[in-house]
Amino acid sequence: MISSSIVGFPRVGSDRAHKFALEKYWRKKITVEELVEAGKKIKLRNWEFESKAGIEQIVVGDFSYYDHILDLAVAFNVIPSRFKDVKRGDGLEDKFEFYFSLARGAKSTANGNNIEGDSIHPLEMTKWFDTNYHCLVPEISKHTEFKLTNKDLVEEYVHAKNQGYNAKPVIVGPATFIYFSKFEDNTSTESKWDYLNKLIPLYADLILELEKNGAKMIQIDEPILATTLDSEVLDAFDRAYKLLGGLIESKRNIGYGDPYYKIKLFLANYYSSYDENFDVATSIDIFDGFHFDLVNGISDIPKILEKGFKNKTLSLGLVDGRNVWKTDLKERFNFFIKNFAGLDPSVSVIINSSCSLLHLPLTVKKEKDYLETDLYRLLSFASEKVIEISQLTTMISVYRESRSLVAFDENFQDSKFKKVFICKHSRPNPDTKPRKTGPNEDKFTRISSFQGRKKIQNEYFNLPIYPTTTIGSFPQTTDIRSKRRAYKSGEITYEQYLDEIKRKIIDCIHLQFELDLDVFVNGEYERTDMVEFFGENLEGMEVTTNGWVQSYGSRYVKPPIIFAHVYRGNPMTCELMEFTLKTIQSVLDSIGSTKKKYVKAILTGPVTIVKWSFPRNDIPISEVTKQVAMAIREEVIDLEAIGVHMIQVDEPAIREGLPLKKKDQDEYKQWAIESFRTATSGINDFTQIHTHMCYSDFYEIIEIIKGLDVDVLTIESVKSNMKFLNNLVPGKENYEAGIGPGAYDVHSPAIPSKEEIIQRIKQYTKYFDKKSVWINPDCGNKTRTEAELKPALQNMIAVAKQLRIQEGEN
């Protein structure tokens, strides 16, 4: 039997309904009932679309108001003790307020006090495997009281069932939940895998409740199986699911569930192959079926064919759920026939997406009037992927029944056209050398070693101990957003828009003078997003109008599309940086100061630009990244030439780019380091290269960090409760370059107190030379308001000055 399904669907809703409902609720513009209603409408529209497109198993449980891992943490009562005083009532509003406090933190009044800085920090945020989606990190402890606090998944299934849909509930499995969890107390010596079995009774109860209400199948997502697992984790995985099977059966015997119509358990892994985890995962008897990512995990095919899976269900992820290129249905059909035509007749087959379509924009139809026609015809977003899955299912079903081929001629023609389109738009005779030369033009490394540069830079900049700066972006205010919309809609000219950007830069510089920051930025007001901006300005890349993809919570981004050879046609940031330099000098002249003030230019690194875009899939991603690196190199050289001598090249995606399998990571590390060093060489030793990384595990990528050879590294640490320190030994030899681990968490609206900032800085100096420590926020300030920005920075700068006095410097 052949049927169709998807692993999951985007939550964004039409016209970003999800984002706007959340933000209106947070601003008290709508009630909690209206928020819930907005969520219901998104789910109903998704189900209706999938059904009309021909999908036979409609996924429920893939929607979340903020994050699916947070949903489970609340459902299983995995709540950190610091939230014990936050109101958690039975009312709908109380439930949502508590839920969002875990994601966004609680302000000082939430715990009954009204003391400045008495804030409750939110759960840590981390990347969901190697994607650009961020999930929250549950916190467990010996005091965690594991219990089922809601049955939202059951209610959602019943709602879909009552609407007439053949619904398939989906839930992240217990092993992946524990994988993303951490101990509330960073000093715990226990193994978190000892807590896996505590979750199993909760899963058993939830599964049986679904069974009781008529669910025929539940999809249990365990993408942890795409990673390299040690024997401890594999053994825990095996024991946990065997325990789950036993619990379900024993509870059925005493009246739970439905003993006559038993629910089928379906194990889903995606993002890569099972590889060495295959035998353990597929030998667990309670699973009636398995999902395979056959875009990124084709190495599993020989084992699939060897095992046979008689009387089981195989879900074949044939349609790419992570890239926007139209599926070549003929190629995918031939792929299926070549590898799976000989499956035993007892095997049920589901044609599926490789992974959840969460990572794609909702529909390409919104781009028809904006994208070049030839590019538009080659694209397929989430909605179009659903239709492709339905079409592919029809092709395979007809062939299996009659050995005839159903042709979708338009799709076949577009697949042939793609090569012609890419050639047409590629740079003529693309060089391997940069067109812009610098003092080190023939090499892709800095002139001197770090220690040699450090001495030169210390003399050149003469910064105080504990220098203060920000990561780059300042709040994107309503006025700048409205001006940008007016410019893009043709209501104002580019010159009028540029005048508004310059006005904001002037205000930003004056504010930094007032705050007395040591190293300035220009606020990045011209940028909607750190990658989208470069997608708009580099050749070979295109930016969509409505291609929104969820990053976390209400944060949506528009990943650019890389469709041809990437190169820099013109300077991208130099004009506004020249204006910034002149503005700073103008202020210094007006106050009669001869003191030098430095400003950092902010660029996005080549790995992050590619990782946070939809790249070409006809050449290796390493080649695409090298092309981008050459373009960024040209910009770095131009910035130095106009007098900018601090240049920050951000690489927040460098950790997530690591392949999930350890055996594949060395090759990635090599080309990622080479790409960054290509982008940041060709300049003088006195020019200081910074980089910023967020959501990265410092210790895991220490080889990469050292290989980048930067002068100053700033990293996110407060959001992760400074966990990067856990694997370091107190002393001064952990990292020789400048380091700014983050003084406070910009993701929370709570204003940090001076006391909490100073404690963090003192903690950092136990592990790093105090002369190398910079004081800066965790990340950029784009999502904060101006009212939140100023007091936070005031406290941060006051701490730096206090520490200098203590060190005998002022």
Of 604, 602, 603, 626, nearest to 540 by C-alpha is 626
Q: State yes or no: 193 annotated in a binding site.
A: no
pLDDT tens-place string over residues 603-640: 999 999 999 999 999 999 999 999 999 999 999 999 99
For 614, list phi and psi in degrees, rounded to 5.
-100, 100
Kindly state the average pLDDT of the residues 464-469.
97
401 and 509, same structural domain?
Answer: no
Asked if the model's pLDDT at residue 131 lies above 80, the reply is yes
Which has more confidence, 468 or 84? 468
Least confident range of 160-169, 224-233, 609-618, 746-755: 746-755
495 and 384, same structural domain?
Answer: no
**With pLDDT > 70 as the criterion, what percentage of the chain qualifies?**
92
Range of the domain at 567: 471-644+660-678
In a domain, 98, yes or no: no
Asked if the model's pLDDT at residue 111 lies above 60, the reply is no
Asked if the model's pLDDT at residue 438 lies above 80, the reply is no
Q: State yes or no: 692 annotated in a binding site.
A: yes
Kindly state the average pLDDT of the residues 22-42.
98
Q: State yes or no: 132 annotated in a binding site.
A: yes
312 and 204, same structural domain?
Answer: yes
Question: Per-residue confidence at 415, pLDDT binned at 50, 70, 90?
Answer: low
**With pLDDT > 90 as the criterion, what percentage of the chain qualifies?**
81
Q: State yes or no: 612 annotated in a binding site.
A: yes
In a domain, 446, yes or no: no
pLDDT for 404 equals 63
Mean of pLDDT over the chain = 92
Question: Per-residue confidence at 115, pLDDT binned at 50, 70, 90?
Answer: very low
Kindly state the average pLDDT of the residues 675-690.
97
Cα–Cα dist 216/206, whole Å: 14
Of 715, 711, 499, nearest to 598 by C-alpha is 711
| Alpha-carbon distances, residue 289 vs 53, 215, 221, 269, 272 (angstroms) | 24, 15, 12, 11, 18
525 and 414, same structural domain?
Answer: no
Asked if the model's pLDDT at residue 535 lies above 90, the reply is yes
Q: What is the DSSP letter of 448?
A: S
pLDDT tens-place string over residues 731-779: 767 789 999 998 998 877 789 999 999 999 999 999 999 999 999 999 9
Question: Per-residue confidence at 409, pLDDT binned at 50, 70, 90?
Answer: low
In a domain, 289, yes or no: yes
In a domain, 738, yes or no: no
For position 622, which CATH number holds? 3.20.20.210
Asked if the model's pLDDT at residue 431 lies above 60, the reply is no
pLDDT for 617 equals 92
In a domain, 355, yes or no: yes
DSSP-derived 3-state class of residue 444: coil
Which has more confidence, 697 or 532? 532
Q: What is the DSSP letter of 217?
A: E
406 and 265, same structural domain?
Answer: yes
Q: State yes or no: 694 annotated in a binding site.
A: yes
In a domain, 746, yes or no: no
Asked if the model's pLDDT at residue 696 lies above 60, the reply is no
507 and 385, same structural domain?
Answer: no
Asked if 565 is an active-site residue, the reply is no
Q: State yes or no: 472 annotated in a binding site.
A: yes
Cα–Cα dist 130/89, whole Å: 37
Least confident range of 118-122, 310-314, 573-577: 118-122
pLDDT for 499 equals 96
Asked if the model's pLDDT at residue 420 lies above 80, the reply is no
Asked if the model's pLDDT at residue 192 lies above 60, the reply is yes
Q: State yes or no: 19 annotated in a binding site.
A: yes
Q: Which residue has the tokens 């949506």?
A: 556
Question: Per-residue confidence at 399, pLDDT binned at 50, 70, 90?
Answer: confident
144 and 263, same structural domain?
Answer: yes
Number of domains in the chain: 2
Q: Which two tokens stand for residue 601?
A: 């230019």
Question: Per-residue confidence at 11, pLDDT binned at 50, 70, 90?
Answer: very high
Asked if the model's pLDDT at residue 216 lies above 80, the reply is yes
514 and 378, same structural domain?
Answer: no
pLDDT for 116 equals 39
Q: Which two tokens stand for residue 694?
A: 């967020």
pLDDT for 110 equals 46
pLDDT for 720 equals 66
Domain boundary residue, one of 360, 389, 424: 424
Residues 6 or more apart whose Cβ sits within 8 Å of residue 763 = 722, 725
Of 460, 465, 457, nearest to 808 by C-alpha is 465
Asked if the model's pLDDT at residue 726 lies above 80, the reply is no
387 and 313, same structural domain?
Answer: yes
pLDDT for 403 equals 64
Q: State yes or no: 380 annotated in a binding site.
A: no
609 and 492, same structural domain?
Answer: yes
Beta bridge partners of 265: 218, 287
Q: Which parts of 518-620 fold into alpha helices (H)?
A: 532-537, 574-590, 606-611
Asked if the model's pLDDT at residue 424 lies above 60, the reply is yes
Strands 549-552 and 555-557, sheet pairing: antiparallel
Cα–Cα dist 560/324, whole Å: 10
pLDDT for 808 equals 81
pLDDT for 718 equals 78
Q: What is the identity of the amino acid at 680?
A: T
In a domain, 241, yes or no: yes
Cβ-contact 126, 135 below 8 angstroms: yes
| Alpha-carbon distances, residue 28 vs 33, 93, 338, 405, 495 (angstroms) | 12, 12, 57, 56, 36
Asked if the model's pLDDT at residue 375 lies above 90, the reply is yes
Domain boundary residue, one of 362, 393, 424: 424
Question: Per-residue confidence at 107, pLDDT binned at 50, 70, 90?
Answer: low
Please give the full DSSP string across 591-608, using - where no structure is assigned. Answer: TT-----EEEEEEE-HHH
Kindly state the average pLDDT of the residues 337-345.
96
pLDDT for 423 equals 63
Q: State yes or no: 702 annotated in a binding site.
A: no
624 and 493, same structural domain?
Answer: yes
Cα–Cα dist 617/18, whole Å: 30
Cα–Cα dist 7/358, whole Å: 9
In a domain, 315, yes or no: yes
Q: State yes or no: 152 annotated in a binding site.
A: no
Count Cα neighbours of 626 within 13 Å in the Cβ-side half-sphere.
14
pLDDT tens-place string over residues 240-284: 999 999 999 999 999 999 988 999 999 999 999 999 999 999 999
pLDDT tens-place string over residues 549-594: 999 999 999 999 999 999 999 999 999 999 999 999 999 999 999 8
Domain boundary residue, one of 409, 424, 439: 424
Q: Which is the catalytic residue, given 68, 134, 565, 747?
A: 747
Which has more confidence, 185 or 376? 376
Residues 6 or more apart whose Cβ sits within 8 Å of residue 624 = 562, 566, 610, 615, 616
pLDDT for 435 equals 55
485 and 415, same structural domain?
Answer: no
Across 209-262, the runs of DSSP E, i.e. the strands, are: 217-221
Q: What is the 3-state secondary structure (H, E, C) of 293-326?
A: ECCCCHHHHHHHHHHCCCCCEEEEEEECCCCCEC
Cα–Cα dist 55/59, whole Å: 10
pLDDT for 31 equals 98
